[in-house]
């Protein structure tokens, strides 16, 4: 199996579509109640589904980038507001955090080798 897509509920499709487009995602499907984006790099997709139900954001969306500082700087210049800017975390990732218009958490990060091979890797338990 391969994880391909995450779908987020949103309260205002136009506002959310504009946010993810400005973030660098490429719109590939668009209706009044649903849209799907291709991530800025790779072939992973992210979709938005309009809802009139109360939203309860819980998942964190991670966008990996080689130069977190540069990407965050460019997004700040474009008007994005980060909860915190690039910082080194104890789990050996460099991260910055922001929220989309509905409160879904987004982290821009770089992990390098620690993404798939951290020092505390559990190994093969089959």
Q: In this structure, what CATH number is given to the domain that contains residue 100?
A: 3.10.180.10
pLDDT by residue for the chain (126 residues), tens only, comes to: 988 999 999 999 999 999 999 999 999 999 999 999 999 999 999 999 999 999 999 999 999 999 999 999 999 999 999 999 999 999 999 999 999 999 999 999 999 999 988 888 776 665
Residue 125 lies in a domain: no
The model carries a pTM of: 0.91
Q: What confidence score (pLDDT) does residue 54 get?
A: 95
Q: Write out pLDDT tens, residues 68-83.
A: 999 999 999 999 999 9
Query: Is the CB of residue 46 less than 8 Å from the CB of residue 37?
Result: yes
Residue 52 lies in a domain: yes
Average confidence score pLDDT of the chain: 95
- How many domains would you assign to the chain? 1
Residue 33 lies in a domain: yes
Q: What confidence score (pLDDT) does residue 120 get?
A: 87
Q: Give the residue numbers spanning the domain of 31.
A: 5-115
End-to-end CA distance of the chain: 17
Q: What confidence score (pLDDT) does residue 66 get?
A: 95
Residue 68 lies in a domain: yes
Residue 81: φ, ψ to 5°: -115, 125
Residue 11 lies in a domain: yes
């Amino acid at each position: 199996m391969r994880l391909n897509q995450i779908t987020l509920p949103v309260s205002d499709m136009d506002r959310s579509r504009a946010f993810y487009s400005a973030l660098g995602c490429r719109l590939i499907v668009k209706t009044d109640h649903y849209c799907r984006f291709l991530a800025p790099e790779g072939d992973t997709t992210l979709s938005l589904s309009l809802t009139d139900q109360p939203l309860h954001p819980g998942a964190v969306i991670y966008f990996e980038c080689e130069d977190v500082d540069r990407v965050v700087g460019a997004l700040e210049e474009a008007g994005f507001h980060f909860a915190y800017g690039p910082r080194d975390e104890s789990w050996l990732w460099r991260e910055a955090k922001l929220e989309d218009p509905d409160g879904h958490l987004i982290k821009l990060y770089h992990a390098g080798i620690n993404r798939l091979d951290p020092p505390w890797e559990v190994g093969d338990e089959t």
